[in-house]
Amino acid sequence: MTENTRGAAQDRAEPVGVVGAGTMGVGVCQSLIQAGLDVVLVEPDARAADGARERLAQSLRLTRLLGRGPAEVGGRVQWAHSPEALDGVGFVVECAPENRDLKESLFAELDRICPPRAVFASCTSAIPIALLAARTSRPERVLGLHFMNPVPLKDTVEVVRAEATSQETMDRALALLGRLGKETVVVPDGPGFVLNRVLMLCIAQAAALVDEGAADGATVDAVFEKCLGHPMGPLRTADLIGLDNVMDTMAVLREQTGDDRYAAPPTFAALVADGHLGRKTGKGFHDYS
């Protein structure tokens, strides 16, 4: 048995670790258990974990009602408050908040806890994978898996291969995504990768048009939706992602590229400060109440 074959066989037998029970973490968890995999889901905040359990249960019920998921997935998720619970997993998907210091600290902790053969995949929106890999003793086993939101309904994942990422790591990650029914686009490492390097600039410029009074949000989005055939314009997309998450991603891009065009325009920053974060709060650039 080759090393790659042995790795794939072990991945099938072992649970997959997920760190962070926010929107992305719960979505990744749902996709994994619907594919027949066991999950160890780590969320240190007890209140956040309780909310995540309810969101996951509701989403699974809806999926079953629509006939798109397995009839029984109970018992596939082990909830934990500490990364120490990941000491036996062979693959970890990190979905912590978009904060470089937090993620770097977490990768160092995972490196200490997890078996030497474990692969670490970050769901970061913009932080270069090389920066996270540098905090481990296994940079060849680190890559980025940029899932789209909502994870269970989005077919394609932006897979980020850093310079040190090995082919074995790529093979294991692509095999896992294939089991989830996901298509993949492999991109090189760098701030924001491909998607968010472009998308965040588009969102910032769209918000700037609103600030300037050149057009309202509905008009900006209508141009993209009706003229270009986009399912959602840039501001509706920002509302779906979560304006707080978009602002964090822009901050990383501004820091990493030195490009001030990634600064959040005043109206955008005011919405976040007032707690209007998009769909998840009922209001952002558009009203969802």
Strands of the sheet with 156-161, listed across from one edge? 77-80, 39-42, 16-19, 91-94, 119-122, 142-146, 156-161, 183-188
Residues 7 and 84 in one domain: yes
Domain end call among 188, 210, 226 = 188
Residue 286 lies in a domain: no
Residue 288 lies in a domain: no
In this structure, which long-range contacts are made by residues 263-268, counting pairs with CB atoms below 8 Å and at least 24 apart in sequence? 263/204, 264/204, 264/207, 265/204, 265/207, 265/208, 265/210, 265/211, 266/211, 267/207, 267/210, 267/211, 268/204, 268/207, 268/211, 268/243
Residues 178 and 73 in one domain: yes
Confidence (pLDDT) at 72: 60
Residues 132 and 17 in one domain: yes
| Torsions phi, psi for 190 (to 5 deg) | 155, 165
Residues 14 and 72 in one domain: yes
Residues 87 and 218 in one domain: no
CATH code of residue 8: 3.40.50.720
Domain end call among 171, 188, 205 = 188
Residue 287 lies in a domain: no
The answer to whether residues 44 and 167 touch, using CB atoms and an 8 Å cutoff, is no
Whole-model pTM: value is 0.90
The partner residues of 122 in beta bridges, in order of sequence, read: 94, 144
Residue 62 lies in a domain: yes
Domain end call among 164, 188, 212 = 188
Residue 7 lies in a domain: yes
Residues 51 and 129 in one domain: yes
Confidence (pLDDT) at 241: 94
Amino acid at 75: G
Residues 181 and 200 in one domain: no
Amino acid at 148: M
Mean pLDDT in order along the chain per 10 residues (289 residues): 47 82 96 95 96 92 76 78 96 97 98 97 98 98 96 96 98 97 98 98 97 96 98 97 96 97 96 97 96
Residue 275 lies in a domain: yes
pLDDT digits 0-9 by tens, 183-217? 999 999 999 999 999 999 999 999 999 999 999 99
- Domain count for the chain, please give it: 2
Nearest to 241 by CA among 162, 161, 126, 142: 126
Instruction: Give residue 57's domain range.
Output: 3-188
Residues 91 and 174 in one domain: yes
Residues 105 and 205 in one domain: no
Residue 104 lies in a domain: yes
Residue 8 lies in a domain: yes
CATH code of residue 269: 1.10.1040.10
Residues 101 and 204 in one domain: no
Distance of CA 201 to the CA centre of its chain: 19
Residues 163 and 31 in one domain: yes
Residues 170 and 55 in one domain: yes
Active site residues: 146
Confidence (pLDDT) at 8: 47
